[in-house]
Chain A
Amino acid sequence: MLKERFFQGLFALSAGFSIFAVGAIALFLFFNAFATISQIGFLEFIFGMDWYPDEEIFGIFPMIVGSIYVTALAIALGVPIGVLSAVYLAYFCPKGLKKIIMPAVELLGAIPSVVYGFFGLVIVVPLVSNIFDGVSGKSILAASLILAIMVLPTIILVSKVAIEALPKSYYEGALALGASPERTVFFAIVPAAKSGILASVILGVGRAIGEAMAVIMVAGNQVQIPHSLSDGVRTLTTNIVLEMGYAADLHKDVLIANAVVLFVFILIINISFSALKRGKK
């Protein structure tokens, strides 16, 4: 029976490891960040407008604004197209066509983010540069376009599951009342699948706000509050990637604190996602 005992212990230990991992991640990051943030001052750090690491002035407000702008625009572009595609796949797509589209959507989700970044660099950036005549093209617009493409698979796949989970009788009932299939889907099905669709949007926001490698290649990375779509922008994630390579001492600690701010953003998003999931049951 010793062997049984040993393995049970081993299994329990393995299961406990993921709790330990989250604890360790939180501990390492928060412990480091707490000291740093209290050293520069919470308000100066979060709402500071200037970022001059050499002079030890660390304000990440432009990055927070940049992350929100880029994410919001990506969601505004990606959600309508994603949800409409999910509706099409769930109700209007012929079976044969579905066999081509579904793998394509799944593969879109599997393309590594550096490849998206590279695609953005060689196609989207020059395109934006042409439209806005003379600007570099590395801009909010380019970053949002790439992120909108990157969140599409998440939104389509999750929304489609939510829409298909509805009872068939909703659809048939509305059709029987004389509504056209399109009207039925838009005025009966989509509102009924609202919480599932919202969940897909929240997941999309999480992916967009956490993405670093694709954004860094197309966003221009200037520390500023952008005033137009063609302005360059730096996000919370790209700030870390750009400066971590050479940062030292306090500068390095500040970047870790920056990651913690990002972590808190993601936690808020995840908590609202699970609250939404629980509310649905």
Chain B
Amino acid sequence: MSRDYLSIFLSFLLKFSIFSVLFVFFGITLFIFIKGIIYISPSLFEWEYNSTNVSLMPALINTINMVICSLAIAMPLGIFGAIYLNEYSKKDSKILNLIRVTSDTLVGIPSIVYGLFGYLAFVIYFGFKTSFIAGVLTLSIMILPLILRSSEEALKSVPMGYKEASLALGASKLRTIFAIILPSATAGILAGVILSIGRIVGESAALLYTSGSVAQIAGALDSGRTLSVHMYAISSEGLHINEAYSTAMVLIVIVFFMNFISNFVAKKILKDS
């Protein structure tokens, strides 16, 4: 087929676009990795942070604690909520729609607005001050819709036959839910959980006013920065640019790793179903 100029031009546009996307992606990651590896040093991983060693260790530990605690709150709420939506509520009921609309709204709210809400509600109103626990509560609300919706989808994809067979054998509804439905939906729920972990690790704006930015391993009522807040703090001060590269690298590696696992889990679900 002879090709007209318009087609050739359009084809060029397409290739140019995808090339620029790839260029940007590899540009950013390679740049940060190469610089990050050069400046990585043992002092970055010391237990204490002080002005001579810009250790990211306290921030890393806070991040892990933050992930565990936020999930401990949001996971039961999200999964139980999904069970209610899927097993107990009538289809197209008002409450179902209301929860859909609210969880869609929660997903769209910018994290800075979550930050101010957390500040008003937990730091001021409930009197937790700027503390780890205030950050955890704020993030729990932020990831709740992610877990709720992905659990709902996972529960929905469990074949009706499983449930019917279990009920037919005389198992109670509750037993069917906990022994049959939940275990078969685990992979789907897990994918949502891993996405939430990625979101917690990357979050900074919502934590600035709730858990604060003190560089120490935080107890429940102390202020402590997570890795993202740490990254923001050292790069906006401008004094430790080299350490900032290494910190950015560590942060990207964690997030990529999370993404990789969630893709892996999601693929496994596709294969199983």
Contact = CB atoms under 8 A, between A and B. Distances in A.
B186 interface: no
B102 A110 contact: no
Interface string B163-196: 0000000001110000000000000000000000
B10 interface: yes
Contact of B116 (A156, A211, A244): A244
B31 interface: yes
Given A11-B80, A117-B235, A210-B112, A186 B255 contact: no
B204 A112 contact: yes
A241 B117 contact: no
Interface stretch (B38-46, B140-148, B216-224): B140-148
Interface stretch (A38-46, A54-62, A260-268): A260-268
A89 B89 CA distance: 40
B53 to A, nearest CB: 20
B271 interface: no
Contacts of B78: 14
Interface of A is mostly: helix
B111 interface: yes
Interface residues of A, number: 83
Given A17-B77, A104-B22, A29 B11 contact: no
Contacts of B241: 122
A87 B7 CA distance: 14
Nearest to A103: B263
B177 to A, nearest CB: 8
A118 B208 contact: no
B270 interface: no
B99 interface: yes
B59 to A, nearest CB: 12
B68 interface: no
Contact of A25 (B32, B117, B208): B117
Nearest to B178: A7
Q: Which of B77, B87, B105, B259 has the most CB of A within 10 A?
A: B105
Given A11-B81, A17-B144, A113 B113 contact: no
Interface in B1-42: 1, 3-4, 6-8, 10-11, 13-18, 20-22, 24-26, 28-29, 31-32
Interface of B: 1, 3-4, 6-8, 10-11, 13-18, 20-22, 24-26, 28-29, 31-32, 76-85, 87-89, 95, 98-99, 101-106, 108-114, 116-117, 119-121, 125, 141, 144-145, 148, 172-174, 198, 201-205, 208-209, 228, 231-232, 235-236, 241, 244, 248, 251-252, 255-256, 258-259, 263
The 8 closest A-B pairs by CB, nearest first: A210-B110, A112-B202, A84-B17, A14-B80, A11-B84, A15-B81, A15-B84, A182-B10
